[in-house]
Each structure stands twice: as structure tokens, then as C-alpha cells.
Amino acid sequence: MIKVQNLTKIYRTPIKTGNPLRDFFARQYKQNTALDNVSFKIGENELVGLIGPNGAGKTTTMKILSGILYPTSGNIKVLGYTPSDKKPDFLKKIAFVMGQKNQLIWELPATDAYELTRTIYEIDKREFKKTVDDLCNLLDCTDFINQPVKTLSLGQRMRVELINSLLHRPKILFLDEPTIGLDIFAQTTIINFIKEYQERYRSTIILTSHYMQDVQRLAKRIIVINHGRIIFDGQLTKLINKYSQEKTINIILSNRLPEKFHLPDDIKCEYDFPTLKLNARKENIAGTLAYLLKEIEFHDVTIEDEPIEEVIKKIFTSSQNTASRPK
């Protein structure tokens, strides 16, 4: 579905010298490499999380794949097309949704905009009605779909925006921060919808999000990008196993800790009776638990993996340290 080889994108920014004549007749530029020799493949029906810090190159990648931006160099094929050619047949098979970017007409209800979309994409009326009904049911927005867009909350607006982007049943869906700014309830609605939509319609989806819980719930495979380079591409479980070195032990105590209670220095401890929280390396978990069972009385014990956000931070730190080493 998507094949990217040696993709590079360089932005040229004019340098202002303070001399208007020089800036006009002999303008100089500085170069910023947004993407540096990026390569990856995405197959049919995959849902891939594309993650990285601000300025890493995520949105630039999505815009090039959808034909919004031209690459500086590299070979990109999406559904067999070169995206930058912007052929109508290609554009009818993709959709690009950006969080908090309005596509609908502010003063009109979403249904009026849907009719315009139906005309643009030449969608059969019967198929159009069925798609609208199906998506409305999935997103639970039947009650407000006929209201002017300006009267809707951000969460409601995001739902009707999603419907508008999916009316033509795209084969590839680019989702750039679809839950940004939404409250927890609206986030959950959107994430559940994306999961169910992908399962029902078998679309290929690329998702970017700063909310790592979104990525963790949706994507089995993730591509981690930093400073325009891919630093990890694979299964999320493999990433966690490779970079996650600690587990958290949460304990609800029956009694206060005895005075003789002592833990090794390499185990981080937070104590606020009746809660005891420990962070221990994976290889030390069994020994730590054995010690706790002998030394303290408790009501409950849970063991959790390291939060995915912390794992990703370690990856970024590792890649930055590697990049800063002298060659």
C-alpha cells in the first residue's frame, strides 16, 4: 500500500541580513532537514502509529504521503501512485484528518457539507446515505448532525469532521493528532471509533498522537521518528521489551512499615501509608517480591509495566546521545 525509499525533505529559509537590497538581489538561505533518508513499508489493512517529539518530521511525512508536500528526494509510492502528482484517482482513495483543523462550513449543519462532499467525490446517493447512517451510529452523533457546526462542542465537531473525511470510504486514512485538545470522554469516543472503523472497513491507517495511550490502544506496530530519522520500526511489544527496564510494584499495606525495613539502593521507593510504591529492575522483581512477602503485611499487590511515555523518552534520549557522539 505504501512504499517509501530514501525520503528526504529539506526546507530552505531566507536569511535576513538587514540590507534590503542584498536580501532582494543576493538572497541567501539556510537549510533545515525535516526528513533525512527515511525508508519504510506499510501493508494493506495495517494501523501504524507514527510517533516522535515536536519537529521530528511526523506531519511532514504524512503531508508528503498524501501529496500535500513535495519531497526533496526519494521514491514514494502510495497505492501505486506518486502522491505529488495529485491524480484525481489517487485523491479519491485517501483521506487526511488533522485535529482542530476545520473542513466544514461554520454556519451550516454538517449534513449540508456532506452533500458537497458527495458531489465532489461522485458518490452514489444510496451508498452515500448508507455510509452517513453507519458512521453516525458508530460515532453516536445523530442528535446533533443537523445543527450548525458553530454550535457544536470541540468533541462533537471532531466527530462530524471525521464523517466528512470518510464518506468516500478511503483505502488509506492519515490521522494527524485526531484527539488533540479533547476531554477524556471525547478522546475515548474517537479512539473506539478508529478501532472499530479499521476493523469494519479494513482501511490502512497511519496515526500520529502525543497521547501515547491512544497509540498503545490502537497500533500494534509503531514507527518512532526523531530529528527526521527513523529510530525504531516494529511491534510495540518489542519496543517495550527492548527499552523498558523497570516494573512498578504497588502495595496496599495492612500495617506501617517496620523500622528494620530496608531496600537496596537501586530500588526507588515512595511511601505514604497505606501505599507503598516501588520501582525495580525487571531482573530484580522476583527477589524483591520474596523479600516483601517476608517483611511486611499487605492487603493487595499489583505489578505494572513501565509507562509507555517513559519508554519513549528513553528512546529519544538514547538517539540524541548517539547523534551527539563524535564520529
Q: If we measure between CA atoms, which residue out of 250, 206, 253, 169 comes closest to residue 1? A: 206
Phi and psi of 36, rounded to 5°? Answer: -125, 95
Name the pLDDT band for 321 (thresholds 50, 70, 90).
Answer: low
State the pLDDT at residue 327: 47
pLDDT digits (tens, 9 = 90+) for 80-129: 999 999 999 999 999 999 887 888 888 999 999 999 999 999 999 999 99
Examine the domain organization and report whether 231 and 249 are in the same domain.
no
pLDDT digits (tens, 9 = 90+) for 52-94: 888 889 999 999 999 999 999 999 999 999 999 999 999 999 9
Which among 240, 256, 274 is the end of a domain?
240
List the domain range (segments joined by +) for residue 230: 43-240
Residue 22 lies in a domain: no
Name the pLDDT band for 150 (thresholds 50, 70, 90).
Answer: very high
Which among 240, 255, 274 is the end of a domain?
240
Examine the domain organization and report whether 162 and 183 are in the same domain.
yes
- Give the separation between CA 130 and CA 136, rounded to whole angstroms: 10
Residue 146 CB partners (closer than 8 Å, separation 6+):
109, 110, 111
pLDDT digits (tens, 9 = 90+) for 273-312: 999 998 888 888 888 888 888 888 888 989 887 777 777 7
- Give the separation between CA 100 and CA 198, rounded to whole angstroms: 22
Q: How many domains does the chain have?
A: 2
User: Is the separation of the CB atoms in 309 and 240 below 8 Å?
Assistant: no
Residue 324 lies in a domain: no
User: Is the separation of the CB atoms in 198 and 46 below 8 Å?
Assistant: no
Cell 442528535 belongs to which residue?
A: 143
Amino acid letter, 191: I
The radius of gyration of the chain from alpha carbons, rounded to an integer in Å, stands at 25
Neighbours of 24 (CB within 10 A): 8
Cell 451508498 belongs to which residue?
A: 127
Name the pLDDT band for 211 (thresholds 50, 70, 90).
Answer: confident
